[in-house]
Amino acid sequence: MRDVEVGVFGGSGLYELFGEVERIEVDTPYGPPSAPVAVSEVMTDRGPIGVAFLPRHGTDHDLPPHRIDYRANVWALHSLGVRRVLAPCASGSLQPDIHPGDIVVCDQLVDRTSGRPSTFFDGPTVNHVSFAEPYCSELRSIVVDRAIATGVSVHRSGTVVVVEGPRFSTRAESHWYRRQGWHVINMTQYPEAVLLRELGICCCAIAVVTDYDAGVDDRPGVGPVSQDEVYAAFAAAMPVTRQVIVDVLGSMPSERSCGCAQATNGLEPDVPPVAG
């Protein structure tokens, strides 16, 4: 198996753009991940880099956001040696100056989910990781620069509010999120981001804006977004997303200079044995 340096949470619509992949079945202490991990060797300006692609929602997009086993997914990438993760995610805009087709490179996160297992540290080892800055500043800076270079409209920072789903927001909820000054809304960034932090893995969310949330675009005759519209908009953004990822891979330094690896406090979680 190739050495794997970078992980990408993205569906088959993304990794099929990278050519030949090797699909690897990974056992984790938390059960199987959403799908086999697709590993590819991506050619970049600094040579070939092993990249592991894992579709959050499953190969056939049959896992709703509240049923994803985030711990299994993150552990699967960790077990392959991944140290950095790029996390493209379909997101709705909460602000009128953030438009469908834009990319928001998030620097903050607000959790509005409920009941999702969100830590590897269930005891007896106790570990309170720092999460004041949920995303890696070093990786974010590279993503911002490379995304701008593609010509797409890029927002250098932004707060993503993560809701439980699978339903979309009511207009009242959407108006409230907008008034808080939050920028985009998504259903998968939590607990994904904090689980990566607990294992010392760098994470950068690449919010691909697919629509205006229910309380943003109130023009007469404009209805709320539909599931089909979101899927279609995210699929249409895949070529640009792929280009950003390739350019980021070629721009990353070999060694990390951020503090993500130290955020674990030097502790390893107590994990159950792999079943079977």
Distance in angstroms (rounded) separating the CA atoms of residues 113 and 68:
13
Task: Judge whether 51 and 18 are in contact, CB under 8 Å.
Answer: yes
Type of residue found at 92: G
Distance of alpha carbon 60 from alpha carbon 12, whole angstroms: 8
Instruction: Out of 102, 107, 111, 211, pick the active-site residue.
Output: 211
- State yes or no: is 69 an active-site residue: no
Catalytic residue among 213, 217, 218, 247: 213
Which among 82, 3, 84, 40 is positioned nearest to 251, based on CA atoms?
A: 84
CA distance 123 to 220: 53
Q: What tokens were used for 87?
A: 């996390």
For the question of residue 228 being annotated catalytic, the response is: no
Question: What's the gap between Cα 32 and its chain centre?
Answer: 19
By annotation, the residues acting in catalysis are 211, 213
